[in-house]
Chain A
Amino acid sequence: MTSLANLCSKAKTYLYKNYGENPGTMLVHTGVLGWILSAIAQVTAVLINDKISKKEKWFLIPQETADAFINIASFYIVTSSFKNVASKLVSTGKLSTKNIRNFIKEKGIDPAKYIGNINSNIGNDFPEIKKEYKNFKNGVDVVASTVGSIISCNIITPVLRNQYASKTQKDIMSKNKTQEETRFSKTPALSMDAYQKMASVKYSSGNLKI
């Protein structure tokens, strides 16, 4: 059986090998991990909270899970797409520095065939300029990951979440109306005021990003 020390050692080596030269990838992956841990914490908090009734939990847990799914999926899809497109632009020379472009020309390679070719990879093909290429690529990756995460967390997610939350609110209101009319339920249905109160005191009501 693997000991804890062995596991820690493997984790350290994994982080060093995978993120040592890829800060952009690290930002995307740790961002996703942050969202996942945050979502697990929110759902656990609802699950273990004695003040929330079983009936309310049945409503809150799927809502929290759906929220988490929207957050994680939009963050990963948008951020990693931005990062991957930026990486591809730099590795194929579509986005480049003057020195890198001049070096390729000096090597006698036809830019028309090489630049923008999906099979081109400046980092592997020209080890002589690897340092300059890597520095530029890491910077572009980091900027792309950050711009992607800003668009995802600060624009796409709030819009999607608002739509989802307003739909949930409307569903509750129409359900309440039906219950009042038919008087099927002996216990009072969840009122709008109660819903708002619950939403303002519950641990999340959307993205409490860590």
Chain B
Amino acid sequence: MAISSIKSFITNTSLYKRAAKTARHVEQKALNVLPDKVCINEKFIKSMDYLGKNFSSDKQRLALGVTALVTQPFIDAHNKSVDEKTRKVSVARTIAKIIAGTFTGFFIRYGCIKAIKAFSQIPAKGVPKYKSLFTPKGITDNTTEAFEQYRNAMGTVVALGVMVFTNFLIDVPLTKFLTNMFIKHQEEDKK
């Protein structure tokens, strides 16, 4: 209530109105510069449709991890502002962090989204109460796309809560173990 009245007060000020008008003007100018693109490739349109429906946060975390393995060690290896020893340790630690973070990040998100799916059934006769623990009030159809996206969002939020703990219980020791392993390999290769 208080937040909405503050918001309404801010949006009604002349300064805000002027800033919003300028922003829209800039946006319009930017839009005018960009070329039109009409997609005619059916495969591309279908893949957009598929990604919108199925690309949840677990897959995004996996995509982030895979691309991180390509870019981050390269950036660390070419960081000329530190000495060679520090550079090697930082590359080893970065690779270890990416592997550990992607491993737990992907599997915990995936597991939590699956779990939320199992515990967000529509309340009905024969459905135990705990199976509709995560079903929002007033939902009668669990096959809609909006409901599927809700399950992904709720699964991700629960996963984030879980990962606050697994960050220390799994990520940290695994990162340390992998870092030491990679440094050992680097030293053996040197010999």
Contact = CB atoms under 8 A, between A and B. Distances in A.
A140 B49 CA distance: 9
Contacts of A27: 57, 60
Interface stretch (A31-39, A58-66, A176-184): A31-39
A135 B49 contact: yes
Given A12-B135, A27-B57, A142-B55, A136 B149 contact: no
Contact of A20 (B53, B146, B163): B146
A13 B76 contact: no
Given A201-B176, A208-B175, A41 B164 contact: yes
B115 interface: no
Given A26-B153, A27-B57, A196-B89, A146 B167 contact: no
B15 interface: no
B191 interface: no
Interface string A134-153: 01111111110110011001
A141 B60 CA distance: 13
Contacts of A206: 97
Interface in A87-102: 88-89, 92-98, 101
B39 A118 contact: no
Interface in B66-86: 67-68, 70-72, 75-76, 79, 81-82, 85-86
Interface in B145-191: 145-147, 149-150, 152-154, 156-157, 160-161, 163-164, 166-168, 171-172, 175-176, 179
A17 B169 CA distance: 34
A154 B156 contact: no
Given A118-B27, A136-B48, A15 B68 contact: no
B149 A26 contact: yes
A96 B160 contact: no
B17 interface: no
Contacts of A174: none
A34 B104 CA distance: 13
Contact of B27 (A33, A88, A210): A88
A181 B8 CA distance: 60
A162 B76 contact: yes
Contact of B93 (A101, A143, A170, A205): A205
Given A97-B38, A139-B51, A143-B48, A30 B157 contact: yes
Contact of B28 (A31, A45, A118, A136): A118
B63 A146 contact: yes
A208 B64 contact: no
A82 interface: no
Interface string A38-55: 101100010000000000
Nearest to B154: A15
Contact of A26 (B48, B53, B145, B152): B152
A101 B40 CA distance: 10
B173 to A, nearest CB: 11
B129 interface: no
Contacts of B81: 162-163, 166, 170
Interface string A52-83: 00000000000000000000000000000000
25 contacts: A13-B137, A21-B149, A23-B149, A40-B164, A41-B168, A88-B27, A94-B35, A96-B39, A97-B38, A98-B40, A117-B28, A118-B27, A136-B48, A136-B52, A142-B55, A143-B51, A146-B63, A153-B68, A154-B67, A159-B75, A162-B76, A165-B82, A166-B81, A208-B172, A210-B166
What are the nearest 3 A-B pairs in CB distance?
A139-B48, A138-B52, A20-B146
Given A139-B47, A158-B71, 8 more contacts: A23-B152, A26-B156, A146-B60, A149-B64, A154-B72, A208-B175, A210-B164, A210-B167
